[in-house]
Structure 1
């Protein structure tokens, strides 16, 4: 297998302040590029914070010019970034929880959260997922938070040939142990790398756990030590994965 470097961006989002959050994302992208990262994954709704009450007001079409600074930076750095944003795929339809894939080649792809948490239906509609990312010999499947709580989701990803499962999440302190046990189990069961990018602090009234992490079939590769902002990086060389945390 070729060399590959992945990272989870553990960020702090400012509620509803998309311009400020974009600037912080740009900082993370530059820092990740300096570390040789090729694919950088941000938490669920990273560009707005997890703010369902603001979602209808803030929702954009995926091609909206508000994302232009991020798309241009991705091309400049030759880095693919997966960012979280409420989206509308058409004016007359509801708001979806989107994970937007800003390609190093200038491309744009959209993944929409398939499984909503109880209560999210007041602000969002369920999405249809999205295509896996093709990366040389690698196939990277995306998930947004509650998606991974349905065992069929990672199983379908594995059966479709994915060897990497990247989840954009909001995991609270109370849910961290159970949720990360699931993710680590998926890595072992499906023989996939599992990456989890979590918020590094409070958002939407939730006390987030931070501790973003990456696992392989043998267990933990790397994790953030707690809350706050960090990059959690995993690098594959010669078929072997190593990891590290970088504070931002």
Structure 2
């Protein structure tokens, strides 16, 4: 079994402030690099906050110049980073909930949320998903929040050969128990590790539960954040199995 180090970035988003959120993302990416992380996954709409009312104004093309500094930084520190952003695939296309894969090799991948949560249709259209990605010898399938509430989504990831199912989410306290039970169940059912990156604080009028977590392919909980706050949830795999760690992320 090859070594692998993955992490959930439990970041706190500042409503609508792309510049400030990019600075925080760079801080997380720097800390991830110091920890030897190969794949870092941020929460749903992490770069803007879960701000449905601002989405149309903030939406960008995935390859927009405004994100180039973040792409460059991912390449510089060598950490493939999945960041959340409202996107438009063309000037006149609808707004999608995007998860952009900023590759350690400078590449750009685009995933768009396929299954909307009730109420999201006022600001967003359903997306088309996206391709799996390779981290070393492992295949990673992405999900954004309500995607994983559909068992068919995780099943499709498994059919694509996913070793890891990685979801950027916004989960509140009321939803935490049923949602994490689903994710843990997918790990067992499909024999794939599961990563869940939740917001570290309130966003868009919702109080996030935090407690981002990573499960092994047998459903065993490797590591979970103890609560909310700017934290990185790290899981390392070697020949002896998985080990977890929580790393606090402070402002630079």
| TM bin (shorter chain) | over 0.9
Match of 2:44 in 1: 44
The 8 Å contact of residues 185 and 219 in structure 2, kept in 1 or not, is answered as no
- Contact 2:38–2:135 (CA<8 Å) still a contact in 1? no
- Residue 136 of structure 1 deviates from its aligned partner by 3.1
Q: Distance in 2 between matches of 1:4 and 1:122?
A: 39
Q: Against the structure 1 CA distance between its residues 218 and 92, is the aligned structure 2 distance closer, same or farther, given a 3 Å change threshold?
A: closer
Alpha-carbon distance in 2 for matches of 1:147, 1:201: 21
Counterpart residue number, 1:220? 221
Shift, 1:122, TM fit: 0.6
- Aligned partner of residue 222 in structure 2, secondary structure: strand
Name the structure 2 match of 1:4.
4
Q: Which digits, 9 at most, give the CA deviation of each residue in 1:136-184, with x for residues without a partner?
A: 3211000000000000000110011101000000001110011001101
Corresponding residue for residue 240 of structure 1: 241
Counterparts of 1:212 and 1:131, CA distance in 2 = 24
Two-structure CA RMSD over aligned residues (Å): 0.8
CA deviation profile, 1:97-135 (whole Å, cap 9, x unmatched)? 000000000000000000000110110000000000022
Q: Residue in 2 aligned with 1:168? A: 168
Contact between 2:55 and 2:86, CA under 8 Å: does it hold in 1? yes
Aligned to 1:231: 232
Q: Distance in 2 between matches of 1:93 and 1:218?
A: 39
Task: State the partner residue of 1:53.
Answer: 53
SS in 2 for 1:131: coil
What SS does the aligned partner of 1:124 have?
A: coil
- Runs of 4+ deviating beyond 6 Å: none
Q: Following the alignment from structure 1 to structure 2, what is the Cα–Cα distance between the partners of residues 146 and 108? A: 23
Question: Which residue number corresponds to residue 72 of structure 1?
Answer: 72
List per-residue Cα deviations over 1:2-27 (Å, max 9, x = no partner): 21100000010000000000000000
SS for the counterpart of 2:174 is coil
Task: Summarize the Cα distance change of 1:88–1:239 in structure 2 as closer, same or farther, 3 Å threshold.
Answer: farther
Q: In structure 2, what is the equivalent of residue 100 of structure 1? A: 100
Q: Distance in 2 between matches of 1:223 and 1:36?
A: 19
Contact 2:99 2:112 (C-alpha < 8 Å) held by counterparts: yes
Normalising to structure 2: TM-score of the pair?
Answer: 0.97
Contact 2:234 2:246 in 1 (8 A): yes
1:85 is aligned to 2:75: no
Unaligned runs of 5+ in 2: none
Q: How many residues align?
A: 248
Q: Which moved more, 1:152-161 or 1:131-140?
A: 131-140
Q: How many Å apart are 1:239 and its aligned residue? A: 5.8
Gaps of 5+ in 1: none
Q: How much does 1:218 deviate?
A: 4.0
SS class of match (1:174) = helix
Give CA-to-partner distance per residue, 1:202-248, whole Å, 9 cap, x none. 00010100000000114100010101110000111116111111111
Partner of 2:115 in structure 1?
Answer: 115
**Closer/same/farther in 2, CA of residues 231 and 142 from structure 1, 3 Å limit:** same
- Partners of 2:204 and 2:240 in 1: CA distance: 40
State the match for 1:207 in structure 2.
207
